[in-house]
Structure 1
């Protein structure tokens, strides 16, 4: 019996391997728009897709980022300035993309733009702190998607949304984790709605990677600024040692992060170029072997694992 089960399992993975190796035809004629191309995953993906011959439309937040990317790529790659938190900027970018793609439509939309800071215990934050992150990571992503969706439907293409393993497990306070949970929910509903139109919606769930959003000094400055504005009663309940422990842990953050960003962009490329892309891509061994399995285990166990290294506050029950 076990032999038959092993054979069936082997056939399943062999079939999956075969299907995932099949590529889409006519890639050099396909247009892909990527948001957040100033640095990190978006910047690297734009360079890799350009090298593969696709027609890359790279959306950058700054003119400097756009100029640097153009210098590092071929003449095929074109850039546009896009602030995903501004409706007028999205509208202008949409009009520009329509001119570029014409009747072919947009084969791929990669919603990569995102921020993490401010990050801190929820009690340290205000509504505006949450809104700042949600506007970029979730509301901006939704508005960009809705704006470009008609072009993607015309090409029967792909929508690739960058979530995070923190869209399954909330590690820390602030708007980042709620925004990634929201990306997961939006992607699920959109995927089902787009099935009749031949549009595929994929989610990328990276683990810990060394990108611009994990800049230790930026996070430390964020902690310090938030601490200074707290009421004295709140400061007393946590204690200075709590703040110092978080700062110390943040300085060591790069040691626990994967510096190979191509692990994530490899998932993005497969989602864009494979005939049979996956619905979800867990990028990084920490995501696959630790955090994803942990998200399915009992809540009490996940709480224990994720909080065992938390600093002790000054006032405990």
Structure 2
């Protein structure tokens, strides 16, 4: 199984539905609810592609909610400017914590296989820089991470439901355990050296 992490697919999907605000059945109302991650607001080692994609989702949704979104007609010439707030379109972001154990999308065997392919694809110079032992230690750490997290994904589903149905939906829903909430608070509100000292080492 190969998982493609791309915020561009999310952007295309959202833009393809914005025209529905003209629909007589849904006049000037609507919801945009996207899923991001708690890692969209704090960087962690060895997850650069994942963190990058989630930061992009957050940025797009924040702009969509608070500012103007330019949508081109099929001609590519005329531009309409949409104020999401003015049109009653509410935008929410779901920022889950660690639910790997509940989704089983990140398994030990998958990590080991990707690690093997990464090592084989490296140049000899890069292999010499990192060293086999250091690289394998990173792989083992990721394998341990795959066993962690919440097994019950209902908090994420509930957050989606609330984002779609509440009269006044939150800008962000954070279905995560106490450890993840504490870490997110430290990363967001305290100086960076505190976060790095506590969680990065």
What TM-score, normalized to structure 2? 0.79
CA distance in 1, matches of 2:173, 2:52: 19
Structure showing greater Rg: 1
Equivalent residue pairs, number: 176
Unmatched runs of 5 consecutive residues or more in structure 2: 67-82
Say whether residues 1:209 and 2:99 are aligned partners.
Answer: yes
1:298: Cα distance to partner? 1.2
Instruction: Give 4+ residue runs of structure 1 displaced > 4 Å after superposition.
Output: none
Gaps of 5+ in 1: 1-113, 116-131, 309-317
Query: What is the CA distance between 1:194 and its match in structure 2?
Result: 0.4
Q: Of the candidates 83, 102, 113, which is equivalent to residue 221 of structure 1?
A: 113
Maintained 8 Å contact 2:41/2:187: no
**Aligned CA-pair RMSD:** 2.0
TM-score for the superposition, normalised by structure 1: 0.52
1:258 aligns with 2:150: yes
Q: Is the 8 A contact 2:107 2:143 kept in 1?
A: no
Structure 1 residue 177 corresponds to structure 2 residue 51: yes
Cα deviation for residue 212 of structure 1 reads 4.2
Q: How does 1:1-317 map to 2 (within 5 A)?
A: 115=3, 133-134=5-6, 138-151=7-20, 154=23, 155=26, 156-171=29-44, 172-192=46-66, 193-210=83-100, 211-285=103-177, 286-308=179-201
Q: Do 1:216 and 1:253's aligned partners in 2 also have CA atoms closer than 8 Å?
A: no
Indicate how the Cα distance of structure 1 residues 299 and 169 shifts in structure 2: closer, same or farther if over 3 A, else same. same
Query: C-alpha distance in 2, partners of 1:277/1:234?
Result: 48
Higher RCO structure (Cα 8 Å, ≥6 apart): 2
What is the CA–CA distance in structure 2 between the aligned matches of 1:153 and 1:179, rounded to whole Å?
Answer: 30
